Amino acid sequence: MESSLAVPRLPPHDPRTPPLAVVDMHTGGEPLRVVLAGCPEVVGPTLLAKRRYMRQHLDHVRRRLLLEPRGHRDMYGAVLVPSELPDAHLGVLFLHNEGYSSMCGHGVLALGRFALDFGLVPAPPAGVREARVNIHCPCGLVAAFVQCEGGRSRGPVRFHSVPAFALATDLLVDVPGHGKVVVDIAYGGAFYAFVSAEKLGLDVCSAKTRDLVDAATAVTGAVKAQQFNIHHPESADLAFLYGTILTDGRDAHSEEPTTNICVFADAQVDRSPTGSGVTARIALQYHKGLLELNQTRAFKSSATGSVFTGKAVREAKCGDFKAVIVEVSGQAHYTGTASFTIEDDDPLRDGFLLK
Q: Which residues are catalytic?
A: 104
Q: Are strands 77-81 and 90-95 parallel, antiparallel or unpaired?
A: antiparallel
Phi-psi region of 166 (alpha: psi -120 to 50; beta: other; left: phi over 0): beta
Q: Using an 8 Å Cβ cutoff, are 260 and 274 in contact?
A: yes
Q: Using an 8 Å Cβ cutoff, are 66 and 59 in contact?
A: no
SS3 224: helix
Contacts of 302 (CB under 8 A, 6+ apart): 204, 205, 212, 259, 260, 261
| Interatomic CA distance for residues 257 and 308, integer angstroms | 9
Q: Using an 8 Å Cβ cutoff, are 112 and 329 in contact?
A: no
CA distances from 38 to 35, 76, 122, 349 (A): 8, 17, 25, 15
| Interatomic CA distance for residues 123 and 247, integer angstroms | 39
Cis check for the bond before 69: say yes or no (omega within 30 of 0). yes
| Residue 316 CA from chain centroid, whole number | 22
Q: Give bridge partners of residue 168 from the DSSP assignment.
A: 185
| Residue 71 CA from chain centroid, whole number | 17
Amino acid residing at 281: R
Backbone dihedral angles phi then psi of residue 175, each to the nearest 5 degrees: -100, 120
